[in-house]
Structure 1
Amino acid sequence: MERYRQFEPILISEFKSSAWTHPEHNHNHYELIFILSGEGSHVINGYAVPYQSDAVFFIGPEEYHYFDIRKETHFIYLKFTDAYIYRTTAESGNLTRQLEYLIKSRETHQHGFPLLAADLQTVRLLFNVIASLKHDIFANQDLIWHQLLCISMLLARNMPELQMDGPRSRDLQAMFCYIHKNIYTPNLLRSQVMAPHFNIAADYLGTYFKRHVGMTIRTYIHQYRNRLIRQRIAAGRMILKEIAEEFGLTDVSHLTKILGKEV
């Protein structure tokens, strides 16, 4: 399987195709894909997702995929890297968190977005704006960023993460989504607070999570939060005090303590 590498922080691609010419592949960046018209299947991690006009897909570096085109398809691609996301974290705040939520929610990557009609109309317009900015990406990168944030907000409120077969998988995915949405509010990540959301006893929550994930819920929260913090530090746009405040930590010493030698 091939791995495509992108060195630019952001790229926009718009094209039509009747036959997919790329092999099954993954990549080192994120891809937000809009189908203006066409019909076929998007094969993601070996799972075929039928698509037609107005389909939206979000693909992360961990996914491998290709398209099986049955009717000429008009694509708009927005490709971006972590460097693009975290260059503006300090200014974007809560909006960037919506994008982080989409990035972490792998079920969304697998199945796409069943958008409400009104939201779909807006998303279609936003993708058309993005396509119109492709002639000079460097000059338009801030405009593109704001379109991306708007799209991420619309997609986040159409999340299909609970539309899965089997109650155990559905409950587990709901736990992941709860953690990802509330990672900035430590008080909401205590077992006594989380358990009622899933109709489960607080004492059993940790056992259930470890049985199905292979690690404790505390370890998962710790690793996910540290990953986000390290990305902010690497971007160099926020001082440690600002990062500590964003994640609800008491002070910088608390932040450095949880990261240990990584800061």
Structure 2
Amino acid sequence: MQIEHSGLSFELTIDTTNVWEKQAHKHSFFELVYIKKGKGKQCINHNTIDYKEGNIFFLPPLDCHSFIIEEKTTFVFLKFSDQLFEKSNSYEINTKNWFDDISYILRNYNKTTGNIINDQQDKDKVIKIIELIILENNNRDRFSSVIIQGLIIGLINILMRHIEQNIYRTAKPNNTKFNLIIKHIQNNLFNNEKLKIPFLANKFNVSKTYFSEYFKTNFGSSLNKYILISRLRVVETRLLYSDFTIKQIADEIGFSDTSHLSNVFKKYYQISISDFRKKGEYQLLKNSTLANCSV
């Protein structure tokens, strides 16, 4: 599998073409794809969907994708890395801490394929922001980097609104407090201190003795199980869409060692990590319906 790298913190490409010549590939950066004109099919992680004018797709690092073009298409590719949010000159703002807090969700949100924004008002906003980024990128001066940084921050916050709405669907839609608890857990999934019941109970004004029952009543499973399953979903994405070793994954997710991760994984999936990785990649390839999506 080819992994595309970029040495830049931000890169904008506009491409009008009748034929997609790249093989299916992954990147080491975030990429937003805006279909300005045209139609066809996109393959994301070996799932195939139609695309058309106005669609917006968001691809975290290590998502595999390619296109089959049915009608001449103008693509706008907006690529950025974590470095964009680090202050590199006196005009830029250091937003690294903000991006660190949300990057977990951006990297690991539900990877159901498709147009990420369905609300027309927000879609119009994103398209306007993209057009402003294009305009600023074509007429750069010493202020352009901070202006583009600010525009991308606005764009990401709109994306986060829709990603969080998808997360909230797992909870009761009218329970604002519980939705905020789910959001907090997802934003702090690897921070054990902020996931302890005393911290959560105090932050969300729920009795410590009642919190476990409150969570289970609203979600249908225990807090510990929800956290564990959420972490295992990250393990899944790492096994299927990265070249990380099991030790690297265990260290990142917060398991004490590879044996601990392997035992927990096998308990819940009824298959070893190594077999899951082999079988998972095989199934992804087997389920691909487009020859151009083969890897």
Q: Report the TM-score when normalising by structure 1.
A: 0.64
Shift of residue 136, structure 1, vs aligned partner: 5.2
The verdict on how the C-alpha distance between 1:69 and 1:191 changes in structure 2, with shifts beyond 3 A counting, is farther
Q: Distance in 2 between matches of 1:4 and 1:209?
A: 28
1:102 shift after superposition: 4.7
Report the CA distance between 1:24 and its aligned residue.
0.9
Letter in structure 2 aligned against 1:40: G
For 1:27, the equivalent position in structure 2 comes to 27
CA distance in 2, matches of 1:133, 1:208: 43
Partners in 1 of 2:147 and 2:9 — Cα distance?
14
Does the C-alpha gap of structure 1 residues 206 and 30 become closer, same or farther in structure 2, counting only changes over 3 Å? closer
Kindly tell me the number of residue pairs found equivalent between the two proteins: 213
Matched, 1:74 2:77: no
| In 2: Cα distance, 1:182 partner to 1:19 partner | 42
Give me the CA root mean square deviation: 4.0
Equivalent residue, structure 2, for 1:229: none
2:154 is equivalent to residue 150 of structure 1: yes
Report matched runs for 1:127-146 at 5 Å. 127-135=130-138, 139=142, 140-146=144-150
Distance apart, 1:155 and its partner CA: 1.2
C-alpha distance in structure 2 between counterparts of 1:224 and 1:203, whole Å = 15
The sequence identity of aligned pairs, in percent, is 18
SS at match of 2:110: helix
User: 1:184: how far off?
Assistant: 9.5
TM-score (norm 2): 0.58
Distance 1:189 1:4 in 2: 36
Distance across 1 between alignment mates of 2:96 and 2:234: 30
Which residue of structure 2 lines up, in the alignment, with residue 200 of structure 1?
221
Higher Rg: 2
Mapped partners of 1:78, 1:61: distance in 2: 13
Within-5 A mapping of 1:29-108: 29-87=29-87, 91-92=94-95, 96=99, 100-108=103-111
- Structure 1 segment 252-263 matched on structure 2, within 5 A: none
What is the one-letter code of the residue matched to 2:135? S
Choose the corresponding residue for 1:190, options 193, 196, 199: 196
Unmatched runs of 5 consecutive residues or more in structure 2: 170-180, 201-210, 237-248, 255-295
